[in-house]
Amino acid sequence: MKAVIYARYSSHGQTEQSIEGQLRDNYAWAKQQGITVIAEYIDRALTGTKDQRPDFQRMIEDAAKRQFEMVIVWKLDRFARNRYDSAIYKAKLKKYGVKVVSVKENITDSPEGIILEGLLESMAEYYSANLSQNIRRGQRESMAKGTYCGGPVPYGYKVSNKKLVIDDKAAEVIRYVFDQYAHGVPKKEIIDELNRRGVRGKTGKPLSITAFQRALPNPAYVGRFTYKGEVIPGLSERIIDDETFQKVQERLKLTARAPAANKAKVEYLLQGKAYCGHCGAPMIGESGRSRNGETYNYYACADKKKKHTCKKKNERKDFIEWYIVEQTMQYILTPARASRVAKAVVQEYKKEFSDSRVDDLDKALKQIDRELDKLVDALVDSPKVAHKKIYARMETLEAQKAEMETDLARLRIAQEIHLTETEVRAWLKKFCTGDPLDEEFRKRIIDVFINAVYLYDDKLITFYNIRGGKQVSYIDLINSADLPADDPAPECSDLKAYAPPNASKSEPQYVFVNGVFGCIFHRKKDED
């Protein structure tokens, strides 16, 4: 039996480890039952009360291709916490011959099992509907009784016996900050003076300009602790008098009308899509300040920053975002290019998921079956001393057969995706009009069209979405037979050119990984 795994976690009280734990238990159960897992569908930080979960919907669509007979979930509430959605989608899956199985809830097909399954689904729905309401009500009631329910403790207070009480030493710092700011002293001067006096933050490090950003507007310091927009009287003792607090609020309003440029939130458009080509680690957003006080933003390899195990150079944020969109416009989205790209993509899909590949795998499986039959016959006539070698060979062939059967099932799922040149051109046309210098246009291209970007110091590989598609991982990238060697591209490639390509030149280098197409863009050595 072939199966797929569906895993999900919502954002409440859960972490990424929830997914890993689910997968570990699901795979262990499948192995114990002798079931082959051919695919994973994972939705991260998405609630089960809604059915609009990308991988969940993709799983339902793939079920129609009849390449798996079971969906394995850790618990039924991972599938849905809504009885209506659960019933609807289970009915759809049943129509395709697919059953939903819970690893942690042993439910049979007996009438009792059906009742138990309905009961568990009802409990999950009830839990989901009441969880947030109960938490909010419980915390509000506890706080009304003077009990502090956790979360960041405002500077100047400490928790003692579950009560929020004044920390005398820290409270003096708060009084000084409020008094100075109310009299017009800039925040930087206040922080510098406190650092000179040896005042340190909770981590023991010198105070920064943002140290009291949350403290200055916090009404807790005048005895009005606020929770979810509601004032909880008596939870925090007064530290600041009303007059000083009001002066501070008025000054904060004045500075908010003309904020400093460095307060603007910087949006890293490639966050979650840009990866280091050398080690596969995410490229994360960073910022710094030059000697003349100018702020600059860039992407940095996470492993280089945290582990110092990679030598990837940092990438200037504005340039690399513009460059990816500009190269995409120049080499992918011009009308003539779009037609040639569409043709190349369709040809690659036909080659990748052709009937010949299915036939080759079928022939290989039949050959293994024939060899296994011969080995079984050989066991009858062979002396016992030869049995060990025969069994070892049979075990190897069985492992090869299982792997081929999994590949065949995956191929047949992908084979059902039919792309036409017209469909690809229509998709590309949506992105053809715009200016790479326009931030909104760049954002649209990157959000919708860009699948993943792998950044090297001398080139970058950009993958594009055509129809859905799983994000190309680093393992997918390095395992791809289509990935060229890590040396300069042939002289005939347009990707070395920075001017618009001539008609006489060849097409760009395409990279195909798991049905997603990409292009390799080589960069000049002196490129800024």
Per-residue pLDDT tens over the stretch 146-161: 666 666 788 888 887 7
Residue 66's pLDDT is 87
Separation between Cα atoms, residue 39 and residue 182, nearest integer Å: 61
The CATH superfamily of 157-259 is Putative Large Serine Recombinase; Chain B, Domain 2 (3.90.1750.20)
Separation between Cα atoms, residue 122 and residue 130, nearest integer Å: 12
- The residue type at 17: Q
Residue 351's pLDDT is 67
Residue 8's pLDDT is 83
DSSP element (H, E) containing 140: helix 111-144
Residues 6+ apart with CB under 8 A from 444: 431, 434
pLDDT (average), residues 18-40: 88
Main-chain dihedrals φ then ψ at residue 166, nearest 5 degrees? -75, 135
Residue 15's pLDDT is 45
For residue 137, pLDDT over 80 is answered with: no
**Pair 93, 99: CB distance under 8 Å:** yes
C-alpha distance from residue 460 to each of 443, 457, 492, 519 (Å): 19, 8, 18, 8
DSSP per-residue letters across 399-447: HHHHHHHHHHHHHHHHHT----HHHHHHHHHTTSSS-TT-HHHHHHIII
* pLDDT greater at residue 238 or residue 380: 238
The full set of domain ranges for the chain reads 2-140, 157-259, 266-350+417-528, 354-403
Most confident of 29-38, 198-207, 485-494: 29-38
pLDDT (average), residues 302-328: 90
pLDDT (average), residues 234-239: 80
Separation between Cα atoms, residue 96 and residue 115, nearest integer Å: 23
Both tokens of 343, joined, read: 């043709």
pLDDT (average), residues 248-254: 81
Lowest mean per-residue pLDDT among 108-122, 250-264, 270-284, 458-472? 108-122
- The class that CATH gives domain 2-140 is alpha beta
**Pair 207, 200: CB distance under 8 Å:** yes
Residue 495's pLDDT is 28
- Predicted confidence (pLDDT) per residue in 369-409, tens digit: 888 888 888 877 788 888 888 888 888 888 888 778 776 77
Separation between Cα atoms, residue 477 and residue 280, nearest integer Å: 9
**Pair 157, 140: CB distance under 8 Å:** no
For residue 430, pLDDT over 80 is answered with: no
Residue 264's pLDDT is 45
Query: Per DSSP, what are the bridge partners of residue 41?
Result: 6
Kindly report the average pLDDT of the chain as a whole number: 76
Residue 36's pLDDT is 92
Residue 133's pLDDT is 54
DSSP element (H, E) containing 90: helix 83-95
456: left (phi over 0), alpha (psi -120 to 50) or beta: beta
* pLDDT greater at residue 120 or residue 228: 228
pLDDT (average), residues 84-104: 81
Separation between Cα atoms, residue 486 and residue 478, nearest integer Å: 11
pLDDT band at 499; cut points 50, 70, 90? very low
pLDDT (average), residues 224-239: 74
Q: Is 69 helix (H, G, I), strand (E, B) or coil?
A: coil
Residue 11's pLDDT is 54
Separation between Cα atoms, residue 218 and residue 154, nearest integer Å: 8
Residue 259's pLDDT is 46
Separation between Cα atoms, residue 145 and residue 148, nearest integer Å: 9
For residue 337, pLDDT over 60 is answered with: yes
For residue 262, pLDDT over 60 is answered with: no
pLDDT band at 144; cut points 50, 70, 90? low
Residue 83's pLDDT is 60
Residues in the chain: 528
pTM (two decimals)? 0.42
- Predicted confidence (pLDDT) per residue in 271-292, tens digit: 888 999 999 899 998 888 777 7
Residue 125's pLDDT is 47
DSSP per-residue letters across 34-61: TPEEEEEEEEES--TT-S--HHHHHHHH
